[in-house]
């Protein structure tokens, strides 16, 4: 077996054999296949796709590259959630402690930013002392004592995916549906959770731009999970506009704490509650009320214990960017569009994301929104505030924001998309 023949098979729109898939995943994990060769194969997959048989085998090979975890010793049923990535998508932060406060155990293995989308681990690392890297023993201990853990997948869990995940981010192959599905599901199946809720984003700020592509991805992942014995359901959710009022690491942590304190933007609260109800139902917990757990402070209590258990200080002051630049509304009227992709790219350019897999991120960088579609704005009022430690980045970020919003005349009617567009089970 050689990697060139594997690349050529997919380049020429052929079907990869089980033997080719098993070999190339194993060889890449061991370093026999170089990054540039795997990036060529990833691009061929992006352009020419994979059928269901190939995706299932690719996922199985990713799982087989490492270990599998088991949570049978826990006294609670396990439920996990995964988002395909969006702008301002801080939902994991309030969701994990909320579901734990309602009686489930939430082993949340999360990732870092991909392209214009933010990463949960990058956000949480803005909390002083917080650690993303835990051993399996530490992870189980945090999960057992607090009910929730948010951490990076260990080196032993689908190591092939860890390498490929970082490579996709810097080679323009993030959007490949087979690679998204296998990346997500290999980790989730190997993780050993009993049930899984998928948040598949749809819109300009998502990797899936159309509802048809989102349904294809969701159906593929639901099938992979179900066939592996994991109760799996997917919600298709809107990502045409950023979630909440912030896009950036520390900015989103602050907003998440507001949600846990009983406040926060309505769209963030609504989606958090919708996903919480799905997770609790999948875990077989029927009598819990997540809305009550937000209101009475029990979800906040779990958050504080979870952060502290991973070395973080829940009372610490979060980083603030050294420089700000305000973008004002050019006219009065109704804001009818605020493009999620453009906001995500601006946040990335300000330092909230990375251009190379080894790049650091700025904890305080990002974009703060002062209005959402449907709001009335007045000429000259703040529309966006850009945050960065490196003011020379402002001009670069502003280049993507010139056409990112529309303001219609006062009195123009506006109907927002529902936050949940569809459900696939």
Residue 46 confidence (pLDDT)? 96
- What is the pTM (predicted TM-score) of this model? 0.90
CA 44 to chain centre: 24
d(CA 75, CA 367): 41
Provide the pairing of β-strand 246-248 with 333-338.
unpaired
Q: Is the pLDDT of residue 165 over 90?
A: no
Q: Which has more confidence, 235 or 84?
A: 235
183 is known as an active-site residue: yes
183, 186, 228, 404: the catalytic one is 183
> Whole-angstrom Cα distance, residue 78 to residue 71?
8
Residue 232: enclosing H or E segment and its boundaries? Answer: strand 231-238
For the segment 396-421, what is each residue's pLDDT rounded down to a tens digit?
999 999 999 999 999 999 999 999 99
Q: Rounded to an integer, what distance in angstroms lies between the CA atom of residue 294 and that of residue 289? A: 9
Q: Check if 168 is active-site.
A: yes
Name every residue whose Cβ is closer than 8 Å to that of residue 317 and which is 6 or more positions away in sequence.
none
Catalytic residue among 112, 162, 187, 354, which? 187
Taking residues 154-176, what's their average pLDDT? Answer: 86
- For residue 154, pLDDT over 90 is answered with no
User: Between residues 191 and 347, which one has the greater pLDDT?
Assistant: 347
- Confidence at residue 285, expressed as pLDDT on a 0 to 100 scale: 97
Catalytic residue among 57, 168, 387, 393: 168
Express each pLDDT in 244-292 by its tens digit: 999 999 999 999 999 999 999 999 999 999 999 999 999 999 999 999 9
Tell me if residue 387 is catalytic.
no
201 catalytic residue (yes or no): no
The question of whether 254 is a catalytic residue gets the answer no
Q: How far is CA 307 from CA 77, 106, 130, 147, in A?
A: 21, 14, 7, 12
Task: Specify the DSSP element, H or E, that contains 23.
Answer: helix 18-30
Look at strands 323-328 and 195-202 and give their pairing. Answer: unpaired
> 22, 161, 199, 339: which one is catalytic?
161
- pLDDT tens-digit readout, 184-226: 999 899 989 999 999 999 999 998 999 999 999 999 999 999 9
Q: Give the domains, in start order, of the chain with CATH numbers.
A: 3-49 (no CATH), 80-177+185-309 (3.40.1030.10), 323-408 (3.90.1170.30)
The answer, yes or no, to whether residue 357 has pLDDT greater than 70, is: no
Predicted pLDDT at 375: 97
List, for residues 124-141, the tens digit of each pLDDT value.
999 999 999 999 899 999
Closest to 109 in 3D by CA, of 69, 150, 146, 141 = 150
């Amino acid at each position: 077996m050689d990697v060139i023949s594997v690349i050529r098979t997919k380049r020429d729109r052929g079907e990869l054999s089980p033997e080719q898939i098993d070999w190339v995943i194993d060889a890449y994990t061991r370093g026999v296949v170089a990054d540039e060769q795997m990036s060529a194969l990833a691009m061929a997959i992006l352009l020419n796709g994979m059928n269901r048989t190939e995706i299932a085998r690719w996922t199985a090979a990713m799982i087989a590259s490492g270990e599998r975890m088991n949570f049978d010793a826990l006294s609670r049923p396990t439920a996990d959630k995964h988002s395909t990535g969006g702008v301002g998508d801080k939902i994991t932060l309030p969701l994990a402690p909320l579901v734990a406060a309602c009686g489930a155990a939430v082993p949340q293995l999360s990732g870092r930013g991909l392209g214009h989308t933010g990463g949960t681990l990058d956000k949480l690392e803005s909390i002083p002392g917080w650690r993303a890297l835990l051993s399996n023993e530490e992870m189980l201990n945090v999960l057992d004592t607090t009910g929730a853990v948010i951490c990076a997948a260990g080196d032993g869990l689908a190591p092939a995916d860890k390498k490929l995940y970082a490579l996709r981010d810097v080679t323009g192959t993030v959007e490949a549906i087979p690679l998204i599905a296998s990346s997500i599901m290999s980790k989730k199946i190997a993780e050993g959770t009993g049930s899984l809720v998928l948040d598949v984003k749809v819109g300009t700020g998502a990797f899936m731009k159309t509802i048809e592509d989102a349904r294809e991805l969701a159906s593929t992942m639901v099938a992979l999970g179900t066939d592996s014995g994991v109760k799996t359901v997917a919600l298709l959710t809107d990502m045409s506009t950023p979630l909440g009022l912030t896009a950036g690491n520390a900015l989103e942590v602050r907003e998440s704490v507001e949600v846990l304190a009983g406040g926060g933007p309505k769209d963030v609260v609504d989606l958090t509650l919708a996903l919480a109800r799905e997770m609790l139902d999948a875990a077989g917990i029927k009598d819990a009320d997540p809305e009550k757990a937000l209101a009475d402070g029990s979800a906040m209590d779990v958050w504080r214990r979870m952060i502290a258990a991973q070395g973080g200080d829940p009372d610490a002051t979060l980083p603030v960017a050294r420089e700000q630049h305000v973008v004002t509304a050019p006219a009065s009227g109704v804001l009818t569009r605020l493009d999620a992709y453009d906001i995500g790219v601006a946040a990335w350019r300000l330092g909230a994301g990375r251009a190379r897999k080894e790049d650091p991120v700025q904890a305080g960088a990002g974009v703060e929104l002062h209005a959402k579609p449907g709001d009335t704005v007045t000429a000259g009022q703040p529309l966006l505030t850009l945050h960065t430690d490196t003011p020379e980045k402002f001009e670069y970020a502003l280049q993507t924001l010139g056409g990112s919003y529309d303001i219609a005349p006062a009195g123009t009617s506006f109907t927002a998309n529902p936050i949940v567009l569809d459900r696939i089970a």
